[in-house]
Amino acid sequence: MASTMIQVPVLMSPSQKRRLAQKAKAANLTMAELLREGGERYAPGDDPALLDHMAKRVILETKKTIRSIDKTLALVAESEARMQALARTAKKG
């Protein structure tokens, strides 16, 4: 039994049409096939609360990483100062 198709006009900018046409060509699909497949795959199930929680975790972990880097840089600076002091002492000796 043949499937009945209906036409659905879709408005888009010329640049969008060019990009989608390039994607369709690269995938060896017609523009209609690309749009149908993309529409079928689209799932707006992203939970805003989960995304917000993840963003807060990223911010927290980034702050912890920055503090760790700052501590490491301070230790490196102290070590360099000790090495310079030892080098000056060795030259005097």
In order of 37, 69, 73, the CA distances from 33 in angstroms are 6, 50, 55
Q: According to the model, what pLDDT value does residue 14 have?
A: 94
Q: How many residues would you count in the chain?
A: 93
pLDDT at 91 over 90: no
Confidence of residue 93 (pLDDT cuts 50, 70, 90): low
Q: H-type helices in 1-93, by residue range?
A: 14-26, 31-41, 48-92
52-60 long-range contacts, CB within 8 A, separation 24+: none
Q: What is the pLDDT of residues 55-87, one digit of tens each?
A: 999 999 999 999 999 999 999 999 999 999 999
Distance CA 22, CA 40 (A): 20
Q: What is the pLDDT of residues 1-60, one digit of tens each?
A: 467 889 999 999 999 999 999 999 999 999 999 999 999 988 777 788 888 999 999 999
Chain center to CA of 17: 25
Q: According to the model, what pLDDT value does residue 60 have?
A: 96
Q: According to the model, what pLDDT value does residue 3 have?
A: 79
This prediction's pTM: 0.46
